[in-house]
Amino acid sequence: MMSGRLMKEYRELQKEASQCSDPDIVLTPSENNFTSWRGRIKGPAGTPFENGHFMLDIMIPSSYPMSPPNIRFATKIFHPNVHAKTGEICLDILKTAWSPAWTLQSTCRAIIVLLSHPEADSPLNCDAGNLIRAGDARGFGSVARMYTMLYASK
């Protein structure tokens, strides 16, 4: 059973899709289960993730929107705030800073912003974090671009 809030978000997403208003984010619920969604986000321009299309697995808890969705990258990505094996995302709004004001779409937008502005001080991927903390932006960018090419190209 889908909550009224989730139904409202779903209708809003359908309306926006028909108007093609946000080409960077596509969200679709599973066919028969509105607690499981698939997201696709486009890598932001000017980053090593540019031209990449990254799939997200989104699980909606029964307490949503009072509790955050559980969102993980299904596409392999090299980023300090994304766990290399599990796809777990280290982002405050997915944990302690969650507010019911966030929607699935605005949360995906925040993940896109995180791709542009990695936080290397609390990495889930230490290799990516260490490259950035060591000032090796070129090395980080090179590996991140390679991952994007290998795993996130259309």
User: Rounded CA gap, 108 and 104, in Å?
Assistant: 6
Count Cβ neighbours within 10 Å for each residue of 38-73 and write b for 16 or more, e otherwise.
ebbbbbbeebbbeebbbbbbbebeeebbeebbebbb
* DSSP letter, residue 54: E
Judge whether 20 counts as a catalytic residue: no
Per annotation, catalytic residue among 20, 90, 108, 126:
90
Return the active site residues. Answer: 90
